[in-house]
Every structure is written in structure tokens, then in C-alpha cells.
Structure 1
């Protein structure tokens, strides 16, 4: 029974919408966190931030991590998450390997995506991707999602694919970690996409739809991503 509080929003993998990007212009620029995605992506493909790759590699480094109950749903110790943030912003990625709490690692990865200046699925696509969820039949829905993914900037597209592949591997241990696609979608929906700040939105309704977007991306991953090259050739 969740109460509506900032703490519980944090446990679901997101920050309260009012404070998420408040005072961002007044904040000092950080090297990794709080940047535009393309600023922290390597120039060569795959264009996935080094921090994201390192986090995923460490989380997947042993089965015990992947079997952890509530992986990504449970909150890590906030002060430890902030410690990782500070170390990473000083270019010390070894702090990831030295972390002994899996929830701190998953919390750090969620924080990275929440703190991006522009969400992984850009604000300009927010309405389009939400509308895509309602398209019928399934084939038309998949085509629209495929078109949306193809129209993403390269770093967004490749980082999204990398993250979803990781989350699908997490679901392979769902009997132990209890993190099925629906649960991961609840965590990552508002973390990977949000409405433009100037646009009036019903946050509760958005939240349900954001979750739905991520659930579709996970459940239909193969058809949305793997067929991109094949479809372009025909």
C-alpha cells in the first residue's frame, strides 16, 4: 500500500516531477550526471555512455546480483548513490566495481537517466509515443514504434536498446527477483520519458501511459529493434 510521498516516488525509480529539473540552470555542470546524453556518449558506435555500460556489466557480473529480490524496484541507500555520483563525476568508474550493494548500483543507474537534461525518449516524441500505445492492430503499433525508434538520435537509440536488452536479461531471473516486464516498466516508465515542462499534463495518467510504453518496448523488443535493418532493405 503505497502512500503518495516523495520517498515512495523515489522507491519506484523516479523523482517528484516538480523537483526533477528544478533549478537545473542554476546548478553547476557535472561531467556525467545531469548532462545531455550526446555529451556523455562515445563518438563511435555503440554510442552508449561508459557509466551505463560499466553499471550494467557489474550488475550482470554474477547470478546472485541478477537474482536479488526487487532488483531496480528497491531503493539503494541515497547517500551511497550520491557517493557514486560524485566519484563518477570525478572520472572514477572503479567505484562501480567496488560497490557492494546491488541496490546502490541500480539506484545510480536510475538516477543517471532521471537526471538527463532531456529524457532518453525525447520530450518532442512524448505525445507520439503515448499515442502509439493505442494503435491497432498490433502490426500497425509495432510499425509506429519501429519508426519512432528509428527516428531517435543514434546515441538515444543505441542506449535505449542497450538498456532494454539488460532489462530483458533481468526478467530471465524473474522467478527469483520478482521483476517481470510489468514491474520493470513501473520503475522505468517515468525514468525514460516525460512530458515537456511547458506542457500541462495529468501526472497520474501520464505515469500509467509511460509504464505502458516501456512494457511494450520490452515485450515487443525483437520486432521493434531486431527488424530495423531488414525492414529498411525491403
Structure 2
């Protein structure tokens, strides 16, 4: 599944190297120029989520809906892996910060939309899977047997703030729909995990971690969340509760 990453097409400037974990978000955040908070990008997740369920940012919902609006979009080769034009991504960022969600409907480059969505998650002040859970979620990947690992992931998800849990679930459901077109877009679960591992979780800035090892483990987290999604996010019939 991963051999596509080594083809010339995806080692060119069209590859979103940042998505592949080459640049740790924590380091980037430490050096980012912070003049003032933007209305949408670069905020805390809870600040841009609606007050009622499901607590998923309007931008994330609108962007995902636009990406899923046509089969042509979903079949695009290298969806989420290839990078969009940076200036166009920044243009969308500026428009979204001015509450102009319609800018996405007028965009013809699918990679600009996917790039904007990835940028939103990278720029969050706190990652979607909070830094406080970084070590716990990485350790969960190594738990055996599988049933115990799934239980720990389920407990971690349930411990997330509602806006994080709702948004993570919404995003993973979208990515699973992307994999349904993997024969065309070549974005299997493992490839999406490589893209989204360092985008959805990263270590606290003060922790001195081995970045290379972290990236592999971050990918593993997303891979497990996708492959075992139904069991991890099941909320039906919790143990000890009778069905209605």
C-alpha cells in the first residue's frame, strides 16, 4: 500500500511533504508569528464548534461536503496526499476567516480543498487528539490482545472533550468514505494514516521525543482508528445495559 509514496510522481514538489510527517507541528507552532487570533484558523477547537451536537466546526462540515459532492472528487489520484496550490489554500483560509464558506463551492481544484482541511487541523492551537493524551494513545497501539487494545482506544475516545470526539468521528467517517474509492484514488487506509498521523496528534512542545519514531506511532494511531472505527466508536448497548 505504501509503495506509491516512493514513485517519482509523489516525491516531486506536488507531494504534500508536511502531511508525511516531515515537519512536526509543535516545532512549527513554536516559531509561528502570532500577532492576533484569527476567527477560524489557528484557534482552539472548542472556540469554533457549535454549542449543540454534533460539535463539528462549520468549516470542516462544509469542506467535507464539498469534497464528497462528486464521485470525480473522491476518485482523484492522491486525494489528501498531493498538495494544492499554497496561495489558493491561503486564499481560502482568508475567506473562511471572513465567514465566507461559499468560497469552497467556487473552487475547482480538489487538492486546494483537501489542503485547506489539513491546514485547519495542523493550525489548531491544541491537536484534535490533545497533547495530554499523546503518550497514552501511542502506548495503546502496543496493547495486546486486540480486545484490550480496542477497549483502551474506546476509553480514550470517550475521554475526549465532546467537540474533539465529534469532530474526530466526523473526519474518520469521511476518510473511510475516501477509502471506498481506493482503487481509483490510491488512498488506502495506510496511506491516509501517513498523511493524517502528524496532522491529528503531536507531542507537547516541551517533550523531547524521537521525531522519526513518533511519526511512525502517530500513523499507527490513525491506522487503528480507521481500521477499527466501528468497534472503537460504538456507543450502542454498553456493557451491562439492556437493549430497549
TM interval, shorter chain, is over 0.9
Match of 1:212?
Answer: 220
- Residue 128 in 1 paired to residue 143 in 2? no
Structure 2 residue runs of 5 or longer lacking an equivalent are: 1-5
Contact kept in structure 2, 1:30 and 1:89, CA below 8 Å: yes
Displacement of 1:9: 2.7
- Residue 231 in 1 paired to residue 222 in 2? no
- Residue 185 in 1 paired to residue 193 in 2? yes
CA distance in 1, matches of 2:240, 2:55: 23
Structure 1 residue runs of 5 or longer lacking an equivalent are: none
Contact kept in structure 2, 1:120 and 1:160, CA below 8 Å: yes
Displacement of 1:10: 2.4
TM-score normalised over the length of structure 2: 0.90
Contact kept in structure 1, 2:88 and 2:112, CA below 8 Å: yes
Displacement of 1:24: 4.7
Displacement of 1:106: 0.1
CA distance in 2, matches of 1:158, 1:111: 19
- Residue 107 in 1 paired to residue 125 in 2? no
| 1:93-147 CA distance string (max 9 Å, x none) | 1101111000000000000000000000000000000000000001000000000
- Residue 69 in 1 paired to residue 72 in 2? no
CA distance in 2, matches of 1:123, 1:84: 28
Q: Which segment drifts farther, 9-18 or 165-174? A: 9-18
- Residue 95 in 1 paired to residue 107 in 2? no
| 1:5-48 CA distance string (max 9 Å, x none) | 9x863253774446520345733210000000000000000000
Across the aligned residues of Structure 1 and Structure 2, the Cα RMSD in angstroms comes to: 1.9
Displacement of 1:229: 3.7
The one of 175, 199, 204 aligned to 2:207:
199
